[in-house]
Every structure is written in structure tokens, then in C-alpha cells.
Amino acid sequence: MADKSPIRFIHKGDFTKLEGFLAKSIGFKPIIRTILNKYGRLGVEALKEATPKDTGKTSESWYYTIDEDQNGNLKITWRNSNLGNGWAPIAILLQYGHATGNGGYVQGRDYINPAIDKVFHRIADEAWEEVNRNGGRNR
């Protein structure tokens, strides 16, 4: 049975080395959470801007959560709550395409990846700046 929850995006990779460094040097969780909130909001704005608009409901339905796994790792998850007919994730239908009721097909448009990719690059850039800024501490 298909998952009927709102859309979830998961990015491969992690910040394990950065988190370890920050944990030793400055007590990282509050700082990382602040940074993730910043980029969570930026991701929502990027996705809103990039989402094709007809009624605007899908573009206004983006939100994010910051979750902590059993190992204490924090992650951002962007979600979209607009479900057509109560079950069809409209953002995914727009991304990958879908069949129509009269037997036609609407081609998808890759709008999610380019929008969120810019946010990932900004996260990586800021993390690298933080490592370089604090790189000499506690050696």
C-alpha cells in the first residue's frame, strides 16, 4: 500500500564530521538547530517560488520540520501538504507528471531539485565557513 503521508524529501549524505567537530568545540545542537531553521525557511521560500502555480495552493503548502533520529542527528525535511482528492500529492504529480481523467498525460516538470539544490549548496558553504572559522580551536 502506498504511503499517503505528505511529501518528504530526503537528501543523501550527512554532516557527521561537522557535527562531531562542533560538538567538541562549541556544543553544537542549539547552533545546528538555528542554522537548520534558517535553511528550512529558505528552502520553503525556494520551493514556493519554483512551484508551478495555477491556484497557488501547492506553492503555499510547503513547510519543513527538523527531526532528530535515535543517534541524535538532526535533519531538515521539506514537505507539501496539498493532496488532491485527499490522497494525491500534487507537488509530486507536478514534478513527475500524471495521467488525466480522459486518458491523456501531463508531462512533469523538474522544479523541486533545482530549487532545493541551491539551498543545499548554501548549507554546505556555511558549514565549510564555520569549520574554517573554528578550525584552529581546541587543537
Which 3-state string (H, E, C) describes 46-57?
HHHHHCCCCCCC
Read off the pTM: 0.72
What phi and psi, each to the nearest 5 degrees, are found at residue 89? -70, 105
Q: What is the pLDDT of residue 4?
A: 64
- Cα 90 to Cα 43, 112, 127: the distances in Å are 18, 12, 33
Q: Identity (one letter) of the amino acid at 66?
A: I
pLDDT tens digits for 31-90? 788 888 999 999 999 999 999 998 899 999 999 999 988 887 888 999 999 998 889 999
Closest to 52 (Cα-Cα) out of 5, 112, 104: 112
Q: Are 83 and 94 in contact (CB under 8 A)?
A: no
pLDDT of residue 70: 86
